[in-house]
Structure 1
């Protein structure tokens, strides 16, 4: 009787112990096994945390970088700046626009606008100028709180010696540098290995990984091997205060038509050449929207955006020879070059290479340079 009474108890105990042992074994295997998660949200986060494409960062950043020209009776100063808010405000160095009677801002697509001073410091080398025509356009993403660290990779953009949208690469090679130059005090400045020379002043220093502006390029050594940049977190409060306090009706601007009449013929040709370069670069990087905005109204009436995109969407790469330019009447320019195009072929693995003779007709439309016509001849 006793053996019959305890037999169920023994069986239950055996099952219980066996269950515990099985659970421990499965738990140990589960901890060792890597779990593959097919979650689109997680995949998106992982993708966005990766290093951004350098060419894309530069192309997008160039849209916000401007060449700044401050003219007075005795001199003309040239520097750089970058669009940073929806009001059309541009951050630059104070020494670029100091004592200027008239200020012009030249955009990446060679458009020239009059600017007015929103705020300028006599102690810190920072200033804000405004171009109302740029209000509402996409502006640079800036880092307002976190400072960069030594070793961080950076991109410096500017217009040294008048060469618009020049790019140099480097790293943060030093931090918290304090010094004075020409009456301006620089505190906690970044020392960078990316060269800064005349014309870079006021341009953006960009984080290579995020594409955000982290500083204002300001000073370079005589040999151009070392540069210094003002960290944005050090000055952003003052910059935003200026921007928020000033309204457009309080500012004085030169007339847009005065800008054109003040330009020298060689300057107009340079702007036209840059406009075509920018157009072809936009096509090469597949930024068709940006390229389309460079066309005049006659071409946009001829091709709507969909037609324009279809003309160039198969292009893989573009290479072109040095352009020859001729000034015609009414400040218009004829530009000619040989362009080699590599393009995809539908339903084929190999790409096709063609070389054609292109003629661009550049002229003013509503006081701004536009591509008015494009002619292509097979060679």
Structure 2
């Protein structure tokens, strides 16, 4: 749901922050009076806390990685699922660390998105068939060492990124990331808070807004809109059944230059996209665009509505157990821990454990669904 953030603290107790035993600030300041001489920086589970000479405090880092931080390896990861309840817990941890209310942490940048395990064929083809987003072509994403793992369309206020998390993290499974990297918060405030100029506080979003389910629903709609505005190349069309005029139009739409040269705007852009998508839907054997739309929508809703502990992952992000939790959460944690521990030493035993647990829970008229081991 939410990954990287950059934010500024609107108010804080500077002395408390510098004396916090969980934070080791590196920089120039007076250890007795706590006067700041130069920028100071501390790190907490991958989150940077920065105090400037003017005594402004910034935080930046991945909330998803903070949630998955491993003390032994001193690293976190942001693949797999990051549910609403995990987000809420992480926001609470960060707010407690800084001793501030999350409503006083003002967001300056934020990444919103979902990680989805698509059908293997779709996963391998989706990034290859991206044409354009609005009127911006997709450029390649790489890991800095020349390894291509996705594409992005760069806009003034945000980046629209689609890439393979599996390649980025060298996972043993395919995982596709759909992400809006927001650089200017106005892009979101005008969507989430309809009247951004009505009150001063409405001009920006805070960390507390990120745990507001109503706002998160709107963020999910914004992510879906980004995909809806994306043109994809459907390569499963039988051209023999299509009129010549429509064939030419489809072939033109597959070329990013067609959209850039014509510089479609407003109704012209909407009409061209509507016609292209209508032809794809009518003649394509696989409606790739609709499949992806449905997957993004389903994943966002799953993360938003998931009960605590209803989605369990190991440190590599693999889904191990998925319960529809209507019973005491301590039971589900006990069973998950038992499966994980025994599965490490007796892999064949996990099926037996699952069956025993399922029979017990069914006898108590509880619902368990989508278990995967």
TM range (shorter): under 0.3
The structure number with the bigger radius of gyration is 1
If asked which structure has higher relative contact order (CA below 8 Å, sep 6+), I would say 2
TM-score, normalised relative to structure 2 = 0.24
Task: Select the structure that is richer in strand.
Answer: 1
